[in-house]
Amino acid sequence: MKKNDIIRTLKKIVNDEKMRKRIGARGKKFAVDNFDTRNYCKNFLEFLDEVGDFKPILKLVDRVGVNLDLMGVAQDMDVIDKVARESSLIFR
């Protein structure tokens, strides 16, 4: 967005009370919907449930990463792609 576009838009908002109220109401609704404590906690608990389902996968990935590091495997080595491909087949 160009400087003149921003200036024109801000002038329009300043001079249009209905637009300001409409934007304010939408902003408030967004904040309530997304940052309300109850909604936040509900969404966070749902996220934790979802992450819990992936716990075995995360444990495996951590163990593989630690072992590759202990073997001196670097990120740019071909073995990384091979291990990633083979690991992905386990959880299909």
Same domain for 63 and 23 = no
User: Is the per-residue pLDDT at 92 higher than 80?
Assistant: no
User: Is the per-residue pLDDT at 91 higher than 80?
Assistant: no
User: Is the per-residue pLDDT at 12 higher than 90?
Assistant: yes
Containing structural domain, residue 49: 1-53
Same domain for 58 and 28 = no
Compute the distance between CA of residue 77 and CA of residue 24 in angstroms, rounded to an integer.
53
User: What is the per-residue pLDDT for 66?
Assistant: 94
Tens of pLDDT along 20-48? 999 999 999 999 888 888 888 888 889 88
Compute the distance between CA of residue 4 and CA of residue 2 in angstroms, rounded to an integer.
6
Q: Which residue has the tokens 């024109």?
A: 8
Instruction: Classify residue 41 by burial, with Cβ atoms within 10 Å: 0-12, 13-18, 19+.
Output: exposed
> How many distinct structural domains can be found in the chain?
2
Tens of pLDDT along 39-72? 888 888 898 888 888 888 888 888 999 999 999 9
For CA atoms 68, 74, 77, 78, give the dihedral sign: positive
**Cα Dmax for the chain:** 67
Helix ranges restricted to H, 1-92:
3-15, 17-35, 37-53, 55-70, 78-90
Same domain for 67 and 85 = yes
User: What is the per-residue pLDDT for 73?
Assistant: 93
Same domain for 87 and 68 = yes
The model's pTM = 0.44
Same domain for 45 and 4 = yes
